[in-house]
Structure 1
Amino acid sequence: MSRVLIVDDEPSILKSLQRLLRAAPCCYGGRQFELEVVTASSPLTALQLARTQEFDLFVSDYRMPEMDGIEFLKAARTLWPDAARLILSGYADLNALVRAVNEVGIDRFVGKPWNDYELMSAIGQALAHRQLLLENRQLADLIRLEMGDKSAEQVEAERLERIEPGITRVNWGPDGSVILDDVTD
C-alpha cells in the first residue's frame, strides 16, 4: 500500500482529490498501486503528520498561506527523501515550475483543473519511479557489499537512516556522555 499525503488549503479540492484517489485505479507500467490517502488543509499540519508517519508520495498545492508548495515539499524531502513529490497548481508560473524542479526535484507539475486520467497517471508514474529507485539502490548496495566497497554494517546503517532519518547520529556531550533529544515538541 502506498501512502499519499495531499496538502491544499481548499477543502473542496481535498475532498475531490480524496474521492478520486480512493475510487480510480492507479496503474503504471503494469504495476497497480493501492493508495492510502491522508489530507491536510495546511502545510504546517502536513509537516506534523510527516514527522510521525511515513509517506510514499506528497501532493501539494503551490499557493497556500503559511508557506508555498515548494517550501513545504523541501521540508517534506528532509523528512522523507525517497518520497515522490508532485505540485498541483492553478497558476502556470514558469519561474515557480523551474524553482520546484531545481530546489525540490518534483516528479510532476499538474495544473488545476486537472484531468483525472492524467493525474492518476502522474501519480502512478511517480510511485513506479520511486519503487524503481529503491530497488536500484538495494541492488547497488548488494553489489557494493559483494565487491567489498561497503561493509554489511554500512549498508544496514544507510538502510536505517532512510527509514528513520537521524537514527544513526549520536549527540555527544563535552564530557563524553550521550545527549538525548528533547522529545516533548
Structure 2
Amino acid sequence: MSKKRLFYAVLLMCMSGLLFAQTQQITRIAVIDMQKIYLTYYSDSSAVRNFEAEKQKVQDQIQKLSDEIKELQKKKLQLQTDGKTAEAAALDGEIAKKAQYLSDFIRIKKAELDEKAQKLMNTDDFMNRLYKTVQQVAESEGFSIVLDIRGINQVTSNIIWFTPLIDITDKVIQVMIKN
C-alpha cells in the first residue's frame, strides 16, 4: 500500500509541476511607432498634405517674425554703438511687443496644429483598422503587449531602450498597405 501511495504522490507532483509549467508564460512585449504608421499610411491623402502645408506655412510665419525681431535687435545694437541710447531704448518696447506676439502666435498655432493632428489620427476607420492590424501582427509574432514608443504629439519616447527585434512598426505598415 505504501508503494502505491508513493507512486500516486509522485504522479500527483509530476502532474502539478507540468500544470504549473504550462501556466507560467513569459509575457513578450512589442513596440510600435504610431506616428510613423500614421504618416506612412496617410502620406498620400489630401488631408495630410493639407495639414503638412499648413504646418509649413506656420513655420514660415514663425521664421519671418523671428527674422524681424533679429533685425530690430541688430538695429538697436547699432544705435547703442552710435551712442543713440534714446532711440535704442524706444526700440526695446517694439522688440518686446514683437517677442510677446511671437510667443503667443507659437502657442496658439501649436495648439491648433496639435488638435488637427489628433483629429486626423483619431478617425474611427483608421483607429479600428490599426487596432485590428496591430492585434493580428502581435498575435502572429507571439507578443502579449504592444507599447507605442512615441505618441503623435511627442518628440521623445517614454521607453528608454528597446531592441529593434521587438519593433513591429514596419510589419504593421506592410499589412495595412496590403489590405
TM-score (norm: length of structure 2): 0.28
TM-score (norm: length of structure 1): 0.27
Structure number with the higher strand fraction is 1
Structure number with the higher helix fraction is 2
The structure that has the greater radius of gyration is 2
Which is bigger in relative contact order (C-alpha 8 A, separation at least 6)?
A: 2
